[in-house]
Structure 1
């Protein structure tokens, strides 16, 4: 599906709005039409590479919107639900299973894609995958 995204391409660069492709959600994933997103210091820190997020990237982690599609196995939301987005967590590690997803053992891999062998990238432009951020990349539609 074609969407618009604000992309940062190198350390300290401005954001450029471009048309990109978004893949359908995989198992356990949800596709949300983003209708609002805040801009946070964390986004600027990632853009400026104080967090080593691989660039180019679609940042944004304070999003809200409407569920458009759900992947297999998703039971907590349905198409048409209005949602506020949060960080990604695995739901399987000890911390997640004891109600502490904010300290998920896979938090860095899932939210910053640093040294991940199988990053959950779903956004691409001209065949090049763009780094996603905080499990949502809310600087995109």
Structure 2
């Protein structure tokens, strides 16, 4: 959890509600650190933030509207993109902006 820019990171136990109908709760086994995480660490964020959108783990709970993933499945995580906006259509889904 990043609470203060440029200070050492630390692990915290967080309380979370269960997944929404279109979400999967994943027990992380591994996660990565990317350039975006480093930028947040170096320059800060508007508020405290849990870093890393890249990971791998096991599905623990699956929302009712989720198709193609079941409890116990091994999954890989990344950022979400729409596939329809100009950034996605130009091959840059990481630059996705919600309108």
The partner residue of 1:74 within 63, 66, 69 is 66
TM-score with structure 2 setting the length:
0.78
- What SS does the aligned partner of 1:57 have? coil
Deviations 1:56-87 (CA, angstroms, capped at 9, x unpaired): 11101220000111112101211111011010
Secondary structure of 1:34's aligned partner: strand
Mark the structure with the bigger radius of gyration. Answer: 2
Question: 1:95 and 2:85 equivalent?
Answer: yes
Deviations 1:19-42 (Å, cap 9, x if unpaired)?
221211112111100000122222
- Paired with 1:14 and 1:70, the residues of 2 have a C-alpha distance of 33
Mapping 1:1-141, distance limit 5 Å: 7-49=1-43, 53-89=45-81, 91=82, 94-95=84-85, 102=93, 104-106=96-98
Residue 53 of structure 1, CA deviation: 3.2
CA 1:10/1:34 → structure 2, altered by over 3 Å: closer, same or farther?
A: same
Q: How big is the alpha-carbon RMSD for the aligned residues of Structure 1 and Structure 2?
A: 2.6
Unaligned runs of at least 5 residues, structure 2 = none
Q: Deviations over 1:92-128 (max 9, x none)?
A: x7339x7x7815442xx9xxxxxxxxxxxxxxxxxxx
Per the alignment, do residues 76 and 105 of structure 1 end up closer, same or farther by CA in structure 2, a change over 3 Å counting? farther
State how many pairs are aligned: 96
Give the unaligned 5+ runs of structure 1.
1-6, 110-141
